Amino acid sequence: MGPPGAGKTTTLVRLAVNYGLASRRPVLLLSVDTYRVGAAEQLRSFAAILGVGFQVLETVAALAQTIEENRGKDLIFIDTPGLAIGALSESAGLAHFLSTKSDVDTQLVLSSSMKSADLTRVADSFEIFRPQRLLFTRLDETGSFGPILNEAVRTGKPLSFFTTGQRITEDLEAASRSRLVELILAGHRGRA
């Protein structure tokens, strides 16, 4: 989950490549991104390039059914619409589904280049989806990493991954305490 442009779709592709294809685990990509014209097409072309299954789901019921039908797949990645925080109430059905389905690992994707106050506002708004973990993108675009720590502490949610650029295979790393401390202490130099 996350606001438009946060990096959800590209991060999902990176996860599918690094944790699915790299270890030859069967992968399925799903999109409930029916909001933005062309948004599902971006993922459809990635799926075609990767040679993995892809489906666009237009309703929560169809999403639930597709997950059920694909129980045998190791990894099912679900891309969601880039929701503006003013329009989150329109996704009450999806929010209910995700917040009650404990075997779906819902991650809130946030850009680390956002101001602290805005991160807080976005994270609080997306709480209707009950995200289990926070995933920070665009670490290459900022030199201040304190807000990432603040948000993790404030929400009490673990950090999952960091993305550090636009390259699909290279610019993804599992988040860790030591890496975050290193980034905060070293600022720009930490990335070098």
Q: Which does 107 bind (CB under 5 to 8 A by kind): Mg ion, ligand GDP, none?
A: none
Stretch that binds Mg ion, among 4-12, 22-30, 53-61, 129-137 (CB under 5 A): 4-12
Of 79 and 151, nearer to Mg ion (C-beta) is: 79
Q: Build a one-symbol-per-residue string for 53-82: x at contacts with ligand GDP by CB under 6 A, - elsewhere.
A: -----------------------------x
What is the C-alpha separation between 39 and 82, in angstroms, rounded?
A: 9
Residue 44: exposure state from Cβ atoms within 10 A (0-12, 13-18, ≥19): middle
- Is 164 near ligand GDP (CB under 6 A)? yes
Torsion angle, alpha carbons of 160, 166, 168, 169, to 10: -70
Of 107 and 137, nearer to ligand GDP (C-beta) is: 137
- Is 8 near ligand GDP (CB under 6 A)? yes
Strands (E), the chain: 27-31, 53-56, 75-79, 107-111, 133-137, 159-163, 172-174
- Is 163 near Mg ion (CB under 5 A)? no
* Tokens representing residue 147 in the block: 């807000």
Question: Judged by CB under 6 A, how many residues of this single chain contact ligand GDP?
Answer: 18
Q: Which does 131 bind (CB under 5 to 8 A by kind): Mg ion, ligand GDP, none?
A: none
Residue numbers 6-65 binding Mg ion by CB under 5 A: 8-9
Stretch that binds Mg ion, among 3-11, 13-21, 51-59, 120-128 (CB under 5 A): 3-11
Helix, strand, coil % over all residues of the chain, rounded to 5: 50, 15, 35
What is the C-alpha separation between 6 and 73, in angstroms, rounded?
A: 27
* Tokens representing residue 99 in the block: 């917040």
Q: Which residues bind ligand GDP (CB under 6 A)?
A: 2, 4-10, 82, 137-138, 140-141, 163-166, 171
